[in-house]
Amino acid sequence: MDNRLITLLTRGESLTRAEYRVLAHLTEHPLLVGNITVRELAQATFVSTATIMRLCQKLGFSGFSEFIWHCKQLLSDTPHIAAQRNDLPELPALFSQFIANYQQTFQWVTQEKRQQFADLLRQKESFFLYGAGFSYLFAEYLTKKLQVLGKTAFISGPGDSRNIFLSNAARYQVFIAVSRSGETEQVLDKARIAKNVGMTVVAFTRASANTLAGMADLHFALYDEAVHYAAEAAGVTSFESNLVLLMDLLLLEATG
């Protein structure tokens, strides 16, 4: 972190999380100052260009150009780079493998798919989420996030009567299914109903070919190092952490 830009962070009391993230990004990457456009900075920090313009105004600048000019002035002072710690703990051997798995997943999460999800989040107000087993936990996580954003979001699972979904399906615009295998019959049953009543179907599954993926209007495939889902469902892999990371990225990009 370049301490010459640290004063920008101290002026961030009234900033939103997204605006603060832009400031933190420039502080961590001072060489970008003067070499990055407002659109490139927005893309790098998963916010809109409007968010960056609001940030500039909150900091007292007329626009992005004046803000960057001020950053250049700060950087023209004597450099003072924070000392790097040499006593960082040794990372587990599997850490690099998990990172590689994340990168594999995000190769499949194209900009077009992210934009489709963002459009759904901005244009639709009511969401019905469904998951079975461990997947229910992650469907519930996304449900709570949507509720915090002010959306009407309802979570259901195999323990609920099928009539609950049949009675309420027409009230919701988007059906979001979380299923690692993409073959759980209870999930497929609800997805078929959702398609029949005109709901947009979004699915989160493992990347291998599966029935739910073929039914979905928008499918997010996640890397799963388990060779066979049914045999290794109880094993610890990067699939679940991939899933949470993907959900948070999609929400941040849509609301930034």
Instruction: List per-residue pLDDT tens for the chain, 256 residues long.
Output: 456 776 777 765 678 888 888 888 888 888 888 889 999 999 999 999 999 999 988 888 888 999 898 888 888 765 555 555 555 567 777 788 888 888 889 889 999 999 999 999 999 999 999 999 889 999 999 999 999 999 999 999 888 888 888 888 888 999 999 999 999 999 999 999 999 999 999 999 999 899 999 999 999 999 988 765 554 455 678 889 999 999 999 999 998 7
- End-to-end alpha-carbon separation of the chain, Å? 23
∠ CA 52-54-58, rounded to 5°: 115
Q: Say if CB 218 and CB 250 are below 8 A apart.
A: no
Task: Give me 50's structure tokens.
Answer: 């409007």
Strands 152-156 and 174-178 come out as: unpaired
Model-level pTM? 0.64
Q: Say if CB 14 and CB 3 are below 8 A apart.
A: no
pLDDT at 231: 45
Q: What is the 3-state secondary structure (H, E, C) of 209-241?
A: CCHHHHHCCEEEEECCCCCCHHHHCCCCCCHHH
Cα separation, 187 vs 179, whole angstroms: 7
